[in-house]
Amino acid sequence: MSKSIWIKLFAAVGLLFLLSACSFNPLADPKTLIQTPELPSDKQTLSSIISSELPEGASIQSPKNGNGSKIQTVDLDGDGTSETIVFYQTTTGRIVGLIFEKSGDTWVKKDTIDSAGFTLESVEITDITNDGHRDLIVGYSNDTSNSESSQKRLVIYSYDKGKISIVDDMPYSYYSIIDMDGDGINDLVITKINNSGYVNIAAYRYKAGFQLISSMDLVNTIGSDHFYNVVAGKVTANQNGIIMDQTLGVSAFSHLIVMEDGQLKDVFPLSRQATYKDIQITSEDVNNDGILEIGMAEIPEGWENIAPTEIPRFTSYYQWSGGADLTKLVSQQYRDEQGRFVIKLAPEWIGKVTIDTKSNKNQDLRFILKDTGEKVAEVRFFSENEWNNHSGDWEIIAQNRGQVIALWENSKINVIQN
Amino acid sequence: MIKKGMTRQIVLHYFIVVFLTILLVELVFLFAIRTYYYDGISNYLQSSFDNTRAPANYRDIVSSYSLDKAEVQVLDLKGNVLQNSTAFIVDKPVQTGDIPQALSGSTGRWIGKQAGTGEDVMAVTRMIKINGDKEYLVRYVTSLELVNQKLFYITMVSAGIGVIILIVVLMVSIGLANSIVKPINNIIGVSTLMAKGDFNVRIKGNYPHEIGELAATLNYMADEIVRSNQIKDDFISSISHELRTPLTGIKGWSETLVSGGFDPEETKLGMSIISKETERLIGLVEEMLDFSKLQQNQMKLVIGQVNLKEILQETMLNVWAKAEQKQIKLVLEPGDASYIVQADGNRLKQVFLNLVDNAIKFSPNESTIKLVIKELAPERVRIVVKDSGIGISTEFLEKVKDRFFQVNPNQGGTGLGLAITQQIVQLHKGEMHIESELDHGTSVMVDLPLLEKKPATPDLTKEAN
DSSP code string of B212-264: HHHHHHHHHHHHHHHHHHHHHHHHHHHHHHHHHHHHHHHHHHHHHHHH----H
- A178-183: list long-range contacts, CB under 8 Å, 24+ apart: A178/A232, A178/A233, A178/A240, A178/A242, A179/A240, A180/A213, A180/A240, A180/A241, A180/A258, A180/A259, A180/A264, A181/A213, A181/A259, A181/A262, A182/A238, A182/A239, A182/A240, A182/A259
Angle, helices B6-51/B145-195, rounded to nearest 10 degrees = 160
For B329-366, b/e burial (b = at least 16 CB within 10 A) is ebebeebebbbbbebbbebbbbbbbbbbbbbbbbbeee
* Closest among A203, A199, A323 to A262, alpha carbons compared: A203
Strand order in the sheet with B329-333: B329-333, B368-375, B380-386, B441-449, B431-437
**Residue B460 binned pLDDT confidence (cut-offs 50, 70, 90):** very low
**Sequential DSSP letters for B131-189:** TTTEEEEEEEEEE-HHHHHHHHHHHHHHHHHHHHHHHHHHHHHHHHHHHHHHHHHHHHH
Closest Cα partner for B240 from B354, B417, B399, B410? B410
In a mutagenesis test of the A interface, which of B58, B82, B133 is the best target, namely the one with the most A β-carbons within 10 Å?
B133
Q: Write down the pLDDT at residue A1.
A: 45
- Inform me whether the pLDDT recorded for B129 exceeds 60: yes
| pLDDT tens digit sequence for B58-72 | 888 888 898 888 999
Summary mean pLDDT of chain B: 84
Res A27: pLDDT: 66
ipTM for this prediction = 0.77
Is B36's pLDDT higher than 80? yes
- pLDDT digits over B326-350, tens only? 888 888 887 666 788 888 888 888 8
pLDDT at A317: 92
d(CA B44, CA B51): 11
Give the Cα separation of A279 and A326 in Å (integer): 17
Question: Over the stretch B38-58, which tens digit does the pLDDT of each residue have?
Answer: 999 999 999 988 888 888 788
Of A20, A37, A335, nearest to B141 by CB-CB distance is: A37
Supply the pLDDT for residue B139. 93
- Report the candidate in B93, B107, B116, B149 with the shortest Cα–Cα distance to residue A35: B149
Q: Quick: pLDDT tens for B374-424.
A: 887 778 888 888 888 888 877 777 777 776 677 666 665 667 778 888 888
CB of B265 within 8 Å of any CB in chain A? no
57-116 of B, contacting A, C-beta below 8 A: 59, 62, 69-71, 83, 86-89, 114, 116
When CB atoms are compared, the residue of B33, B117, B130 closest to A37 is B117
Contact check, Cβ <8 Å, A33/B150: yes
First to last CA, chain B: 89
Residue B247 is predicted with a pLDDT of: 87
> Which residue type is seen at A51?
S
CB contact under 8 Å between A31 and B41, yes or no, is yes
CA distance B15 to B259: 91
Mark out chain A residues that contact chain B at CB-CB < 8 A.
1, 9, 13, 16-17, 20, 24, 26-31, 33-41, 43, 47, 60, 67-73, 335-336, 339-342, 397-398, 400
pLDDT for A204: 93
- Reported as type and span, the H/E element at residue A97 is strand A95-103
DSSP-derived 3-state class of residue A343: strand
For residue A46, give the chain B residue with the closest CA: B88
Residue type, B41: I
Alpha-carbon A61 to chain mean position: 18
A377 in the Ramachandran plot: left (φ > 0), alpha (ψ -120 to 50) or beta?
beta
DSSP conformational letter for B418: H
Question: Do residues B125 and B137 make contact, with C-beta atoms less than 8 angstroms apart?
Answer: yes
Report the C-alpha gap between A74 and A55 in whole angstroms: 24
Contact A200, A215 (CB under 8 A): yes
End-to-end CA distance of chain A: 79
> B334, B410 in Cβ contact below 8 A?
no
Q: Between the CA of residue B281 and those of A139, B194, B246, B247, what are the distances in Å?
A: 146, 38, 7, 8
- Angle formed at CA A61 by CA A57 and CA A65, multiple of 5 degrees: 160
Percent of chain B with pLDDT over 70: 93
What's the CA gap between B437 and B114, in Å, rounded?
A: 102
pLDDT the model gives residue B463: 40
Q: Chain A: nearest CA to B72, how far in angstroms? A: 10
pLDDT reading at B464 higher than 50: no
What residue of B is the nearest CA neighbor of A35? B69
The span from the CA of A123 to the CA of A136, in Å, is 7
CATH class of B56-143: alpha beta
Query: Cβ contact (<8 Å) for A27 and B36?
Result: yes
Residue of A nearest to B84 (CA): A69
Residues of chain A with pLDDT under 50: 1, 22
- Is the pLDDT score of B127 beyond 60? yes
Q: Which residues contact A136 (CB under 8 A, 6 or more apart)?
A: A76, A85, A113, A123, A124, A125, A156, A157, A158, A159, A164
Starting at the edge strand that comes first in sequence, how are the strands of the sheet with A251-260 ordered?
Answer: A227-236, A239-248, A251-260, A263-266
More confident residue, B324 or A2: B324
The two most distant CA atoms of chain B are separated, in Å, by 161
**Cβ contact A36–B71 (<8 Å):** yes
3-state secondary structure of B460: helix
Mean pLDDT of B110-120: 88
Residue-level pLDDT at A222: 62
pTM above 0.90, yes or no: no
In chain B, the residue whose alpha carbon lies closest to the alpha carbon of A338 is: B131
- Cβ–Cβ < 8 Å for A253, A269: no
- Whether residue A312 has a cis bond before it, omega within 30° of 0: no
Residue A18, pLDDT score: 55
Q: CATH for B209-295, among 3.40.50.720, 3.30.830.10, 1.10.287.130, 1.10.4080.10?
A: 1.10.287.130
Q: Looking at the predicted structure, is the pLDDT value of residue B461 above 60? A: no
DSSP, res A183: S
- Among A9, A26, A67, select the one facing B33 at the smallest CB separation: A26
Q: What is the pLDDT of residue A33?
A: 84
Q: Is the minimum CB–CB distance between B142 and chain A shorter than 8 Å?
A: yes
Q: Tell me the C-alpha distance between B138 and B102, whole Å.
A: 9
Query: Are the Cβ atoms of A72 and B174 closer than 8 angstroms?
Result: no
Contact across the interface for A28 and B53, Cβ inside 8 Å: no
**Average pLDDT for B223-236:** 84
- Host H or E run for residue B129: strand B120-130
Chain segment B424-452, per-residue pLDDT in tens: 888 888 888 888 888 888 888 888 888 77
Cα(B19)–Cα(A271) distance, integer angstroms: 85
Which letter, b or e, does each residue of B18-43 get, where b requires 16 or more Cβ atoms within 10 Å of its Cβ? bbeebeeebeeebeebeeebbebbbe
Task: Specify the CATH class of B304-464 in words.
Answer: alpha beta
CB contact (8 A) between residue A69 and residue B119: no
A229 alpha carbon, distance to own chain's centre: 10
Q: What is the pLDDT of residues B345-355, one digit of tens each?
A: 888 888 888 88
Which of B88, B132, B147 lies nearest to residue A39, judging by beta carbons?
B88
Q: What's the pLDDT at B308? A: 85
Strands B134-143, B71-75: pairing kind: antiparallel
| Closest CA of chain A from B208, distance in Å | 19
Per-domain boundaries in chain B: 1-51+145-192, 56-143, 209-295, 304-464
- pLDDT at position B459: 46
